[in-house]
């Protein structure tokens, strides 16, 4: 048996429990001196959680999760991966503050880069125009002059993402690539040379998924919250209305982070998403990287905190309730945020069909996923 950090072993077993979330883990961390205690002495759970359901306690008593944790940790050692647990000091602080932070973050490379504030994310359309690529390169170049030690965070995807990584690598800036699958593979594989350069130049690859996890469509949306959560600011050089990067921007806003967008031409479909963010006041206009420094000047260069809110003007009369042809959107418009179970009951849709509909709407930027499997209109 390969020796592992025992605390990490139990932390991973905890993360494998169905329904276990960040708040549950923080509560356990506050109740026990060590995260291994509820596994080694499950009777202590009754003292702290007398109403805990039997099916949950059985998970702590069973060896099944610990065996799976051992298997994953052994694979991590073979691949030179470093898992970071939510309650560990090495876990990136900015991400830990998010309500839906992943319990385990698998890293390959220089994981200390994740503590090298301020991290700045650059995301956008996969179908980037020459203008979008040019402006991405320009923004990264300006950032390299103003904040040369700031890591650039993106998703190693086609278009804006890979251009941001490439330019940062050219300029000697550290890169963080957040992936939507296990770190034993790479998608898209055509970007493997860039991934290897990120590692060789002191950057890091990151994923919440254990090795062996294949690429699935829904995981790209989940990945976006990590990009947003790691970063003090998110920049969108170019994004259409259906770009998944809009969900990254709105997640960043929900975390109290800065969002910037370049306007582009009003006739360009690839810029329509950026224009929509600007029109709705969800993003600040970015013309040069110095615009971002104005925001960072009050945030500081460490852990981001919510921006001070200006005095609110006297509220206007409520706008008329919008009408949607899609019954799912209309339900959210009428009732506000709803859980997945509530939506399934109200719409009488099979869960598999509903999950697909929600994913499509989220990718289109029309709804936003919330902690606890809930959704609201974007």
Which residues, including other chains, have CB under 8 Å from residue 242's CB and lie 6 or more apart? Answer: 273, 363, 364, 365
Q: Domain spanning 112-299 has what CATH number?
A: 3.40.50.450
Residue with tokens 């994913």: 359
Q: What is the pLDDT of residue 51?
A: 72
Domain boundaries, the chain: 1-77, 112-299, 327-377
CA angle 136, 230, 366 (to 5 degrees): 70
Residue with tokens 């950090």: 5
Strands (E), 182-339: 204-207, 233-236, 258-261, 284-285, 338-339
Which of the residue ranges 32-41, 241-250, 280-289, 299-308 would you say has the lowest mean pLDDT? 299-308
Phi, psi (5° rounding) for residue 179? -110, 160
Structure tokens at 129: 């125009």
| CA separation, residue 41 to residues 49, 62, 368 (Å) | 13, 12, 40
Structure tokens at 75: 């694979």
| CA 160 – CA 158 distance, rounded (Å) | 7
Q: pTM for this one?
A: 0.78
Between 317 and 41, name the one with better pLDDT.
41
Which whole number is the average pLDDT over 362-371?
A: 70
Q: Domain spanning 327-377 has what CATH number?
A: 1.10.10.10
DSSP tag of 160: H
Counted residue by residue, the chain has a size of 378
- For the stretch 46-81, pLDDT in tens is 887 777 667 777 888 888 899 999 999 999 999 999
Its sign, for the CA torsion 275, 278, 283, 288, is: positive
Residue (of 363, 323, 92, 57) closest to 226 by Cα position: 92
Question: How many CB atoms are located within 10 Å of the residue 89 CB?
Answer: 9
Which whole number is the average pLDDT over 11-21?
A: 89
| CA 377 – CA 368 distance, rounded (Å) | 6
- For the stretch 169-209, pLDDT in tens is 999 999 999 999 999 999 999 999 999 999 999 999 999 99
CB 173 within 8 A of CB 148: yes
End-to-end CA distance of the chain: 49
| CA 207 – CA 86 distance, rounded (Å) | 13
Strands (E), the chain: 82-85, 104-109, 120-122, 152-154, 175-178, 204-207, 233-236, 258-261, 284-285, 338-339, 367-370, 374-377
pLDDT band at 98 (very low <50, low <70, confident <90, very high): very high
Q: What is the pLDDT of residue 63?
A: 85
CB 16 within 8 A of CB 69: yes
């Amino acid at each position: 048996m390969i020796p592992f950090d025992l605390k990490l072993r139990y932390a991973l077993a905890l993360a494998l429990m169905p329904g276990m979330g960040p708040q549950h883990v923080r509560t356990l961390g506050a109740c026990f001196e060590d995260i291994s205690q509820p596994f080694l002495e499950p009777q202590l759970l009754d003292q702290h959680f007398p109403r805990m359901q039997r099916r949950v306690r059985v998970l702590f008593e069973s060896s099944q999760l610990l065996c799976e944790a051992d298997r994953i940790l052994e694979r991590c050692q073979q691949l030179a991966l470093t898992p970071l647990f939510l309650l560990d000091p090495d876990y990136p602080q900015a991400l830990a503050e998010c309500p839906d932070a992943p319990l385990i973050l698998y890293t390959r490379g220089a994981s200390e880069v994740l503590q090298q504030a301020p991290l700045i994310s650059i995301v956008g359309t996969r179908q980037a125009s020459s203008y979008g690529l040019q402006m991405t390169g320009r923004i990264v170049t300006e950032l390299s002059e103003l904040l040369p030690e700031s890591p650039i965070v993106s998703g190693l995807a086609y278009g804006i993402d890979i251009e941001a990584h490439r330019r940062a690598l050219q300029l000697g800036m550290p890169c963080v690539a957040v992936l939507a699958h296990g770190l034993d593979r790479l998608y898209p594989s055509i970007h493997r040379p860039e991934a290897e350069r990120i590692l060789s130049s002191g950057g890091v690859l990151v994923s919440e998924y254990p090795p062996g996890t294949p690429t699935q469509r829904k995981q790209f949306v989940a990945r976006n919250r990590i990009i947003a959560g790691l970063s003090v600011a998110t920049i969108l050089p170019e994004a259409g209305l259906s770009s998944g990067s809009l969900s990254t921007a709105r997640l960043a806003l929900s975390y109290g982070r800065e969002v910037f967008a370049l306007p582009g031409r009003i006739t360009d479909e690839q810029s329509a998403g950026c224009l929509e963010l600007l029109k709705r006041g969800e993003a600040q206009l970015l013309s040069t990287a110095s615009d971002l420094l104005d925001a960072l000047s009050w945030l500081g260069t460490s852990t981001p905190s919510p921006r001070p809110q200006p005095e609110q003007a006297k509220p206007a009369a409520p706008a008329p309730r919008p009408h949607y042809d899609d019954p799912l959107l209309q339900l959210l418009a009428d009732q506000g945020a709803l859980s997945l179970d509530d939506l399934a009951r109200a719409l009488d849709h099979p869960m598999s069909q509903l999950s697909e509909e929600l994913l499509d709407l989220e990718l289109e930027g029309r709804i936003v996923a919330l902690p606890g499997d809930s959704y609201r209109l974007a």
